């Protein structure tokens, strides 16, 4: 059933039950996210898509459209909160963009540009998390993980459906892990999909590094905002 809602004062029409972040994109309003992938189940882990809905702050990927919704995306307080969440991700990991293989293809880096981040307001923790190179086709740079859980939920063994990635520990002791036995059964295209699904440079495909020169990388050619609006309107 079609219904009306307001996004930053603009009245738009959408179907009840649609996801707010998708509806916003379909109507030219970019809401950043680091865990949500259109067409996949909502994870709600990063909270970078937070907006104001009827006076309450909510992650847009979890909100289903219903009647008489008033949504505020550009409100300064909530925009700054999204920026703070992005800054927190930088401070809680080791993200040295100039030396990272994922630079120019990294969603965290691209979203940081969109929220106009310059430096984190939070102290940098510089965690030391041991990398894992045991798998045949991929290795993990654990100190770059932002715990979005895309890989945990969406990358599974094709025969058994078992999860290949998992998160062990809690708080500052949390780390991403990989089931090497299952990972070694991944065909090359699935390993590449896992690496591309990762929003940062945590899951790296072996044998691929700096093969795209500056100026020709994914988000150099088209910003993450432009890609989100264009792809969501296909």
Q: What is the pLDDT of residues 196-219, one digit of tens each?
A: 999 999 999 998 777 777 778 899
Q: What angle do CA 165, 170, 172 make, to 5 degrees?
A: 105
State residue 234's pLDDT score: 52
- Whether 99 and 199 map to the same domain: the answer is yes
- Whether 204 and 113 map to the same domain: the answer is yes
The string of pLDDT tens digits covering residues 103-138 is 999 999 999 999 999 999 999 999 889 999 999 999
- Whether 155 and 105 map to the same domain: the answer is yes
Q: Total structural domains in the chain?
A: 2
Q: If DSSP codes are grouped into helix, strand and coil, which group holds residue 71?
A: strand
Specify the range with the lowest mean pLDDT, choosing from 9-18, 88-97, 186-195, 209-218.
209-218
Handedness of CA 189, 132, 150, 53 (dihedral sign): negative
- Whether 67 and 172 map to the same domain: the answer is no
Residue 90 and residue 193 in contact, taking contact as beta carbons nearer than 8 Å: no
- Whether 113 and 198 map to the same domain: the answer is yes
- Whether 66 and 95 map to the same domain: the answer is no
CATH code where residue 37 lies: 3.10.20.740
Tell whether 81 is covered by a domain: no
Tell whether 180 is covered by a domain: yes
Tell whether 194 is covered by a domain: yes
Q: If DSSP codes are grouped into helix, strand and coil, which group holds residue 7?
A: strand
Tell whether 202 is covered by a domain: yes
State residue 82's pLDDT score: 98
- Whether 104 and 125 map to the same domain: the answer is yes
Tell whether 50 is covered by a domain: yes
Residue 174 and residue 168 in contact, taking contact as beta carbons nearer than 8 Å: yes
Q: If DSSP codes are grouped into helix, strand and coil, which group holds residue 33?
A: coil
Please give the residue range of the domain that contains residue 61: 2-74
Go through the chain and tell me how many residues it has.
234
**Per-residue pLDDT averaged across 149-154, rounded?**
98
230 pLDDT band, cuts 50/70/90, is confident
């Amino acid at each position: 059933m079609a219904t009306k809602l307001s996004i930053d004062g603009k009245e738009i029409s959408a179907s009840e039950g649609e996801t707010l972040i998708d509806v916003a994109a379909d109507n030219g309003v970019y809401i950043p996210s680091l865990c949500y992938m259109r067409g996949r189940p909502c994870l709600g882990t990063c909270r970078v898509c937070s907006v104001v809905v009827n006076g309450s702050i909510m992650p847009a990927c979890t909100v289903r459209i219903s009647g008489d919704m008033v949504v505020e995306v550009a409100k300064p307080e909530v925009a700054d909160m999204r920026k703070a969440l992005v800054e927190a991700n930088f401070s809680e990991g080791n993200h040295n963009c100039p030396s990272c293989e994922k630079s120019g293809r990294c969603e965290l880096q691209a979203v940081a540009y969109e929220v106009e981040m310059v430096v984190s307001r939070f102290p940098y923790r510089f965690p030391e998390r041991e990398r894992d190179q045991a798998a045949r086709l991929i290795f993990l740079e654990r100190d770059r993980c932002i715990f979005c859980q895309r890989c945990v939920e969406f990358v599974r063994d094709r025969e058994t459906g078992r999860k290949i990635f998992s998160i062990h520990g809690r708080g500052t002791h949390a780390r991403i892990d990989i089931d090497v036995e299952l990972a070694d059964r991944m065909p090359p295209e699935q390993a590449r999909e896992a690496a591309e699904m990762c929003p940062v440079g945590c899951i790296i495909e072996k044998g691929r590094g700096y093969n795209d020169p500056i100026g020709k990388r994914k988000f150099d050619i088209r910003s993450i905002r432009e890609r989100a609006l264009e792809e969501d309107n296909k």
